[in-house]
A and B are shown apart, each in its own frame.
Chain A
């Protein structure tokens, strides 16, 4: 026993090294888990405050871009509003009862989605697993698992929340998969990033009998309860089909430039618990 203690003492540098590395490895594994570590992350108060400061300097360089994006979004919203105002059917061909129905339906008090606007505090695009920190948290009603979008397209999913900040798993994270649909042909596929170019993601599982062309729009499908249906992802930039391949190799150019991310919206789906619980029943029955 004495010898053992002496041995450990003589090699204390090596054993400390081993201990520290094991601890680090444990941290890495823990951090890769779906929920992430509870305290030591960039939604932690001190770290987030400093990132906030750093971002506030960066904001000045993005002002013109943010302005243009807001103007674009404004225009799109106005157009949508105008379309709403127009009667869906010419009123004289419809019974009064029906037109009232249409009117009450569009102004229904029932909302499926709520939007919470937030500012990006910290953002990476160049690693293999990228995360975004935003300046709204539990206090603003954000919960783990909510979808995050920007005016131009999808951004990611909330991973960790603290009281004033949250960490979002970016779409630019090699383990993230999002169900998508080709808008023109209505075929379903899965969008996943390959870890290289932050402008391009892969669209997988589109079978060879479909004929996608460069420029086709890719949007989210309604197959996951997280993202609303029809959120923009990007347009197809490259179409490749190898001989005897089961699926196309499609590269999609993201509509949102992740390097210029500054304001995002967090989506709260009021029906998600309901959808989840119904699907749970099915899963249990299948088993």
Chain B
């Protein structure tokens, strides 16, 4: 097993444990949740096989679900964004294309590109998650408000994490 994949596995557990042990207790004003674990899924290498992407998304979502007691919700949202992710990345190909082993992180193409890449995916993830959880559109505006505040909070924390631990291009 290569060094990169061992690092990936270790960071999988770090993100998961950080999410369920610490961020599970952080909810601002009953509406803003932080799902930092999405960042792990977002910065997986560009060239990862789409099947593997969805598999990893499912495992991550399932593990988070076990702790949140909401079986299926996070897995559903994760698999969904992992499916969309590659199409979205292809749309955002920078000049000269991606190198093999590139990770779509802040260090790769700068802040603006990363925000354009991450914002819709985080919004999508939270949207799917909260509307599924509410069981439809019964409380549409309240749920939408939850989606927006949570997305802002999550994005902010993802950015901070990216600045603190910049993921270098593995050579």
Contacts and interface: CB of A to CB of B under 8 A. Distances in A.
Interface centre among A12, A28, A42, A129, by most B CB within 10 Å? A28
Interface string B52-84: 001000100110011111111101100110010
Given A16-B51, A20-B79, A198-B30, A27 B71 contact: yes
Interface residues of A, number: 41
A28 B132 contact: yes
Contacts of B79: 17, 20-21, 24
Nearest to B57: A20
A131 interface: yes
Given A24-B72, A28-B72, A196-B142, A17 B133 contact: no
Interface residues of B, number: 34
A42 B66 contact: yes
B162 interface: no
Contact of A42 (B50, B67, B75, B132): B67
B27 interface: yes
A41 B69 contact: yes
A40 B133 contact: no
A63 interface: no
Contact of A25 (B50, B68, B76, B142): B76
B70 A24 contact: no
A82 to B, nearest CB: 41
A17 B83 contact: yes
B139 A195 contact: yes
Interface stretch (B2-10, B18-26, B153-161): B18-26
Interface string B75-96: 1100110010000000000000
Interface in B124-151: 132-135, 139, 142
A258 B80 CA distance: 33
B71 A37 contact: yes
Given A41-B69, A51-B67, A195-B139, A127 B133 contact: yes
B4 to A, nearest CB: 23
Nearest to A159: B69
A123 to B, nearest CB: 10
A167 B68 CA distance: 11
Interface string A1-39: 000000000001110110011001111111100000100
A26 B70 CA distance: 12
A24 B75 contact: yes
9 contacts: A17-B54, A17-B83, A42-B66, A42-B67, A42-B69, A50-B21, A50-B67, A126-B27, A195-B139
Interface of B: 20-21, 24-25, 27, 30-31, 33, 50-51, 54, 58, 61-62, 65-73, 75-76, 79-80, 83, 132-135, 139, 142
Q: Which 10 A-B pairs have the closest CB atoms?
A: A27-B72, A28-B72, A24-B76, A31-B71, A13-B50, A131-B69, A17-B83, A42-B69, A24-B72, A24-B75
